[in-house]
Amino acid sequence: MSKRSLRDLPAAALDGKRALVRVDFNVPLKDGSVADDTRLRAALPTITYLREKGARVVLLSHLGRPKGGPDPKYSLRQVTRDLERLLGAPVEFIPDPAAGVPSTRRLPRGGVALVENTRFWPGEEDNDPALARVFAALGDFYVNDAFGSAHRAHASTEAVAHLLKPAVAGFLMEKELTYLGDALAHPKRPFVAVLGGAKISGKIDVIEALLPRVDEILIGGAMACTFLVAMGLPVGTSLVEPDRVALAKALLAKSGPKLILPRGAVIAPSLPRAAEHREVPVDQIPDGWAVYDIDAATRHDFRARLLRAKTIVWNGPMGVFETPPFDAGTRAVADALVAARGKGAVTIVGGGDSAAAVAGLEDKLTHVSTGGGASLEFLEGKVLPGVAALEDA
């Protein structure tokens, strides 16, 4: 899985050359400006390095899900101002990639341009080689720094990498591959996974892929309720996937003692009636009540297991963390990861909501993956097309 990195390119390959960089600027917008610039900041190491080496930087990204054509709501023009602020330099906007070559050639050394949303052009999502040729003409070499989009074979992530060489991994991409890859390939043991979130269905493949590699999987979130049902326990009005109960049964049978379920839950009659919350053991969930978090005993148990671990991978919150007090379980796991990291463990967080749940703790964890779906597919052991298309190291 080792890929050639931007770091491996000699100075002469960068100086004065046009770097076509696929970034992940799929940022949340509010009233026409960037509501959260995390993804812009995540791309800065690659952009800054290229500028310092005298390259002309041409940025490509998708934004949102426009329906097959230009739509001002999803224009990347809305990102330009925030990018300029972060870079402290002007950013030239290229509204049409097919007419963009002269603009890229006019860029000064160290200059930056941003191309309009890749999904405005037919062919992006079909991995169309004709569109990839249009993109490829905008650069002299290709850098993919969009790990969050690497699980999709699109013209700007896959086809273009075959047309424009060298095709290398940017620093964010490299970091993701190193941490997620090494954690799975050479984990220091004990290796413990924590899985939660709403649905078991989206994460079955992750559980299956991790089971043979890890020493323990701790299960929280609504996902745990489907397992409880599989064990014959009533779970009231909790979020359950009835069509996955059989699967949960099979997983329980084959996982043996590796699968650790909650001992008890924080329950309430409904989310609006959160104030009535109380804790019960998992075999005493009353009719008409729903599980919204793991209880204190489980938090304690999970923390002890996590503090013994040397490698931890976490995906999915332990409860409805958006609605206090049901954030306590998720916060407890976050705290346990920070403490484990303090004791020398490798701690990795992947997943969109999980990353949001550890916002502000990034410096105290080994790695927080920026790629939601991509990091899950990576953990499942799938080959990411945008990664595969890059040159091997």
Q: Which residues bind ligand ADP (CB under 6 A)?
A: 196-198, 221-222, 239, 291-292, 315-317, 319-320, 322, 351-354, 372
Burial 52-71 (b: 16+ CB within 10 A, else e): ebebbbbbbbbbeebeeeee
What does the binding site for Mg ion look like in residue numbers (CB under 5 A)?
Answer: 352-353
Closest CA to 142 of 255, 237, 18: 18
CA–CA distance from 257 to each of 49, 75, 217 (Å)? 48, 51, 9
352 is known as an active-site residue: yes
For residue 314, give both structure tokens: 């976490």
- 212 Cβ neighbours under 8 A, 6+ residues apart: none
Q: Which does 111 bind (CB under 5 to 8 A by kind): Mg ion, ligand ADP, none?
A: none
351 is known as an active-site residue: no
Q: Which does 139 bind (CB under 5 to 8 A by kind): ligand ADP, Mg ion, none?
A: none
Closest CA to 144 of 362, 388, 355: 388
Cβ–Cβ < 8 Å for 174, 3: yes
Q: How far is the CB of 198 from Mg ion (least distance, A)?
A: 7
123 versus 197: smaller Cβ distance to Mg ion:
197
Residue with CB nearest ligand ADP? Answer: 197
Q: How far is the CB of 374 from ligand ADP (least distance, A)?
A: 11
111 versus 197: smaller Cβ distance to ligand ADP:
197
What's the Rg (C-alpha) of the chain?
Answer: 23
Q: Which does 276 bind (CB under 5 to 8 A by kind): Mg ion, ligand ADP, none?
A: none
199 is known as an active-site residue: yes
Our measurement of the distance from residue 345's CA atom to the centroid of its chain's CA atoms, rounded to an integer in Å, reads: 21
123 versus 351: smaller Cβ distance to ligand ADP:
351
113 versus 195: smaller Cβ distance to ligand ADP:
195
- 292 Cβ neighbours under 8 A, 6+ residues apart: 265, 266, 267, 268, 271, 274, 277, 319, 320, 323, 326
Q: Which does 103 bind (CB under 5 to 8 A by kind): Mg ion, ligand ADP, none?
A: none
344 is known as an active-site residue: no
Q: Which does 172 bind (CB under 5 to 8 A by kind): ligand ADP, Mg ion, none?
A: none
84 versus 353: smaller Cβ distance to Mg ion:
353
Pairing of strands 56-60, 112-115: parallel
Annotated catalytic residue, options 54, 64, 202, 373:
373
Q: How far is the CB of 392 from ligand ADP (least distance, A)?
A: 30
Q: How far is the CB of 200 from ligand ADP (least distance, A)?
A: 9
Query: In which element (H, E) is residue 21 found?
Result: strand 18-22
Annotated catalytic residue, options 352, 371, 372, 386:
352
Annotated catalytic residue, options 77, 133, 199, 258:
199
Catalytic residues: 39, 199, 352, 373
